[in-house]
Structure 1
Amino acid sequence: MSTATIDALPQPDPVPLKDDAVVIGLVGLAHGTSHFSHLLLAPLFPVFIRDFGLSYADVGLLMSIFFVISGVGQALAGFVVDRMGARPVLFAAITCFFLASLAASLATGYSGLVLVAVLAGLGNAPFHPADFTILNQRVSAQRLGHAFSVHGITGNLGWALAPAFLVGITALADWRAAYHAAAVLYAIVLGILFWQRDWLQTRVVERHEDAPAGADLAFLRLPVVWWCFAFFFLSTVTLAVVQSFAPSILKAVHGVSVEAATLTLSAYMLCTAAGTLTGGFVAAWGQHRRWSSDRVVALAMTGGAVLLLVCATGWLGASGTMAVLSITGFAIGVGGPSRDMMIKQATPKGATGRVYGTVYSGLDTGFAVSPLFFGLLMDRGWYGATLGIAALVLLLSVYAAIGVGRRSGR
């Protein structure tokens, strides 16, 4: 394989801060729409249950459909990004979100919601390979830690915006108007990205006719790729537990109100965003002092696991548990930018899209599998065990991170 350089890609040395900031901002904006799409349906589940006579199992299946399609599509999208470039794939993804919002506004029953889940899952699939291909190619090396930090923060902001946006407009008008507004939001984002499209152009990988058969799949034989996949799967299993069940656990174990429990989850996400911001400086600091990224990730995830285990015991009472659970988000967030640096260091040259697509499909797999397993524990009233096992799974992700470091040639 050889890499063909597109003439439109100037590479000044050093790269001006303004240029890096524009690229980081545009990719961050796109990433926020991806996380917004994760919650395109979930905040209005109670409305769908009421209006369409659905069960919790029915609406839960919609999320499984979303993440299964996103996970499989993400692994495949990496190949497309490497061959076509990230920009057209990114535009197609946001177009899928636009169509999903329109489909939601027209839904008259469960089949319509399934179509929304399918379209949103297809749209979500290419984001990580596309985003990280752009960042790795267009942002200067010394600012990559900060770029990955902003990327993570905008994702968390997308999660935070979706419920307020959809539920708020539903309260003011109705849920169909909310999805019309979401379609307008996606159209605006797509318009901004198209307007500034020159900043999103990337090099593409060309395959020569004499390339050996299966060359595009050679990266799958690298053990480090599967250690990266394992890390994402394990760490996401824990995140899914917190997102799905933390409010219910707080209410059942400590008797806190629904409002307070939900506020705790919001605090967790905000602390994760703050930790991710801090993690960008930690990643840059580690680069200057030759600290390996996997070491930073391992320390951050270990801290998060210990705090989560403390929450599982219930020893701290309601207020203490809510506070410590929020701080857990900060600890995990600190490791976010170094996590992305860790994947970059493990990626062979010319295979960015394919590797990130495969590795990040572990995230979707974790989101799809975790609620099924831990939901069984919740149904049996094993609330402390749910948090405790989630913490142990996070510790297993530390082992996976160390495995990545040992195999990435650092």
Structure 2
Amino acid sequence: MTSATLNAAVRIHPVPLKQDAAIIGLVGLAHGTSHFSHLLLAPLFPVFMRDFGLSFSDVGLLMSIFFVISGSGQAMAGFVVDRLGARPVLFSAVGLFLLAALAASQATGYGGLVLVAILAGLGNAPFHPADFTILNQRVSAARLGHAFSAHGLTGNLGWALAPVFLVGITALADWRVAYYAAALLYAGVLGLLYWQRDKLRTEVAVRHADAPKGAELAYLKLPVVWWCFAFFLLSTMTLAVVQSFAPSILKAVHGVSMEAATFTISAYMLCGAVGMLVGGFVAAYGQSLRWSSDRVVAVSMSIGALLLLLCATGWLGAVGTMVALAATGFAVGVGGPSRDMMIKKATPKGATGRVYGTVYSGLDVGFAISPLVFGGFMDRGWYALTLAGAALVLAISVYAAVGVGRRTN
């Protein structure tokens, strides 16, 4: 059956909602597992510092190792996804998380924690190319906006679950027990994905014998790919500032307690999840009205940048600043599904894994360099300038989004 015949059949026999929902749910579960693994070590840093005599620099390096491996591996993983299909790569990734949790449960020093960071980074690397290859191939076009919305939402929920899960079990039992429980969680997810494996099958990119040498790398010559990469790098730098420094800024500038400041970050993430849910309807509705996805992204990110800039002024006071930060999460979240639609439009046929792998590696790069850049501001006590800088970077990401739109519309 040719692709044209298949497409015609899909139009005559629309994909049932139940089938799309099952695929979206499975991919969302896997993505939540990925974000859970971002924080496989960080919530228990104080415990490791106490038990193993580590410094802040020591534990901070663990996160750098994770994101460097994840970022560099993500682009390469895209080629593997296109060659072998997304399903076996996704299974391998969750399996690496399982091994990372078991390694954490047996750690006796810093070397063991480094091994955990390496395994988790390798596991995290393939997720975006694998996830988006499955969604783009298996979910009907009319529901892709909702699919991308659910994908982003489950990622935020994974971030929210990890500290509660790991710290909670550690408080009740022991941190090694917490990692055994995490290993069981990964095993359960892997078992469910394997059981429903027929819903995760994807077509591989066909390699033609007469294809010119280096054809698989031809997408790297497309300027739009690098505009997408720049957008992810810049917008993620802002998220990293909020996650890393907002509690300290609120405490230093407004005298907010650490508990309240930390709650603000949770509120930011939860509002971001709600924003992504709303953004799925915006993306789907925008398609029917022919709104360009890059403009939806530009508007949402512009509102987020303005809110951050308002926070930097200090005019809102403690409570107003915390509310505005949470609202920033919602504004940025609304643009999430349209952002993924924007990248889909920029992706050449047969190169989904490679493009998403390259573009999303910008996320890891942003997470890696942002604390280095803005950490210097914080060391000098430039708290307002740190938030203003985050707002500026987010505003520049709007320019990148518009640049993508100019090359795809």
- The interval holding the TM-score normalised by the smaller chain is over 0.9
Instruction: Tell me how many residue pairs correspond in the alignment.
Output: 405
Alpha-carbon distance change, 102 to 292 in structure 1, aligned in 2, over 3 angstroms: same
One-letter amino acid matched to 1:148 = F
1:379-390 matched pairs, under 5 angstroms: 379-390=379-390
2:205 is paired with a residue of what secondary structure? strand
Give the distance between the partners of 1:384 and 1:12, measured in 2 at CA. Answer: 57
The offset of 1:372, in angstroms, is 1.1
| Structure-2 residue corresponding to 1:62 | 62
| Structure-2 residue corresponding to 1:115 | 115
1:204 is paired with a residue of what secondary structure? coil
CA offsets 1:184-207 (integer angstroms, 9 cap, x no match): 000000000000000000000121
| Structure-2 residue corresponding to 1:404 | 404
Give the distance between the partners of 1:10 and 1:125, measured in 2 at CA. Answer: 32
1:209 is paired with a residue of what secondary structure? coil
1:407 is paired with a residue of what secondary structure? helix
Give the distance between the partners of 1:214 and 1:330, measured in 2 at CA. Answer: 42
The offset of 1:12, in angstroms, is 7.2
1:206 is paired with a residue of what secondary structure? coil
Does residue 159 of structure 2 align to residue 162 of structure 1? no
One-letter amino acid matched to 1:118 = I
Alpha-carbon distance change, 283 to 10 in structure 1, aligned in 2, over 3 angstroms: closer
1:205 is paired with a residue of what secondary structure? coil
One-letter amino acid matched to 2:312 = A
Give the distance between the partners of 1:333 and 1:307, measured in 2 at CA. Answer: 14
Give runs of ≥4 in structure 1 deviating > 6 Å: 9-12
| Structure-1 residue corresponding to 2:131 | 131
One-letter amino acid matched to 1:269 = M
| Structure-2 residue corresponding to 1:222 | 222
CA offsets 1:160-202 (integer angstroms, 9 cap, x no match): 0000000000000011100000000000000000000000000
| Structure-1 residue corresponding to 2:98 | 98
1:40 is paired with a residue of what secondary structure? coil
CA offsets 1:223-243 (integer angstroms, 9 cap, x no match): 000000000000000000001
1:262 is paired with a residue of what secondary structure? helix
One-letter amino acid matched to 2:213 = A
Give the distance between the partners of 2:377 and 2:106, measured in 1 at CA. Answer: 36
One-letter amino acid matched to 1:182 = A
Q: Cα RMSD (Å) of the superposition?
A: 1.5
| Structure-1 residue corresponding to 2:149 | 149
What 5-or-longer segments of structure 1 have no aligned partner? none
| Structure-2 residue corresponding to 1:257 | 257
One-letter amino acid matched to 2:237 = V
The offset of 1:377, in angstroms, is 1.0
One-letter amino acid matched to 1:379 = D
Give the distance between the partners of 1:135 and 1:319, measured in 2 at CA. Answer: 40
Give the distance between the partners of 1:181 and 1:379, measured in 2 at CA. Answer: 38
| Structure-1 residue corresponding to 2:53 | 53
One-letter amino acid matched to 1:217 = L
| Structure-2 residue corresponding to 1:16 | 16
Does residue 298 of structure 2 align to residue 271 of structure 1? no
| Structure-1 residue corresponding to 2:372 | 372
The offset of 1:285, in angstroms, is 1.0
1:198 is paired with a residue of what secondary structure? helix
| Structure-1 residue corresponding to 2:324 | 324
One-letter amino acid matched to 2:168 = G
What 5-or-longer segments of structure 2 have no aligned partner? none
Alpha-carbon distance change, 341 to 271 in structure 1, aligned in 2, over 3 angstroms: same
The offset of 1:348, in angstroms, is 0.4
2:98 is paired with a residue of what secondary structure? helix
| Structure-2 residue corresponding to 1:247 | 247
One-letter amino acid matched to 1:199 = K
2:290 is paired with a residue of what secondary structure? coil
| Structure-2 residue corresponding to 1:77 | 77
What is the percent sequence identity of the aligned residues? 79
Provide TM-score, normalisation by structure 2.
Answer: 0.97
Deviates more, 1:116-125 or 1:368-377: 368-377
CA offsets 1:345-389 (integer angstroms, 9 cap, x no match): 000001000000000000000001111111111111111111100
The offset of 1:10, in angstroms, is 8.7
Give the distance between the partners of 1:62 and 1:11, measured in 2 at CA. Answer: 49
| Structure-2 residue corresponding to 1:204 | 204
One-letter amino acid matched to 2:333 = G
Does residue 385 of structure 2 align to residue 346 of structure 1? no
CA offsets 1:86-139 (integer angstroms, 9 cap, x no match): 000000000000000001011111111000000000000000000000000000
| Structure-1 residue corresponding to 2:173 | 173
